[in-house]
């Protein structure tokens, strides 16, 4: 039993080492193609850029969330939050924008459908919270 307990940290350390190796290991095929071929020579560079982009996406989601909450002021009740025709219109615009910008439209649609569903839940929660708060 004692050997099994000691093996767990060893596995975790070895697993971490393999993950670090992946970040610095050279690519198995091809050459850098992003930013005119300037990036990326390592998986670590790829991940750093994805992290940078994710930060920007979250900032935009925060801004979007403010407007989503504001939209609730124009809805008579939480059930009115869902607007299938509006979702269809958004998805059509997103798919066209994705194609124009070189993003797979299926990826864009699936991402937006998930985001819209989450924001609809948020809007319903905000509607209820704001109705419970005293008017200013």
Write down the pLDDT at residue 11: 46
Asked if pLDDT for residue 65 goes beyond 60, the answer is yes
In this prediction, residue 135 carries a pLDDT of 67
Give the pLDDT score at 104. Answer: 98
pTM confidence score: 0.76
- Judged against a pLDDT cut of 70, whether residue 122 lies above it is answered with yes
In tens, the pLDDT along 81-110 reads 999 999 999 999 999 999 999 999 999 999
| 67-77 pLDDT per residue, tens | 999 999 999 99
Does residue 133 carry a pLDDT above 80? no
pLDDT at 123 > cutoff 70: yes
3-state secondary structure the chain: CHHHHHHHHHHHHHHHHHHHHHHHCCCCCCCCCECCCCECCCHHHHHHHHHHHHHHHHHHHHHHHHHHHHHHHHCCCHHHHCCHHHHHHHHHHHHHHHHHHCCCHHHHHHHHHHHHHHHHHHHHHHHHHHHHCCCC
* pLDDT reported for residue 10: 47
Query: Mean pLDDT across the stretch 118-129?
Result: 94
């Amino acid at each position: 039993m004692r050997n099994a307990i000691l093996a767990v940290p060893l596995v975790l350390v070895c697993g971490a080492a393999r993950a670090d190796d992946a970040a610095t290991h050279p690519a198995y095929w091809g050459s850098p193609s992003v930013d005119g071929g300037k990036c990326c020579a390592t998986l670590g560079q790829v991940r750093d850029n994805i992290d940078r982009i994710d930060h920007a996406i979250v900032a935009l989601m925060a801004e979007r969330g403010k407007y989503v909450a504001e939209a609730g002021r124009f809805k008579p009740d939480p059930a009115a939050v869902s607007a299938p025709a509006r979702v269809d219109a958004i998805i059509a615009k997103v798919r066209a924008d994705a194609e124009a910008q070189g993003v797979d439209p299926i990826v864009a649609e699936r991402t937006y459908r998930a985001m819209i569903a989450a924001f609809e839940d948020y809007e319903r929660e905000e509607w209820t919270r704001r109705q419970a708060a005293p008017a200013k």
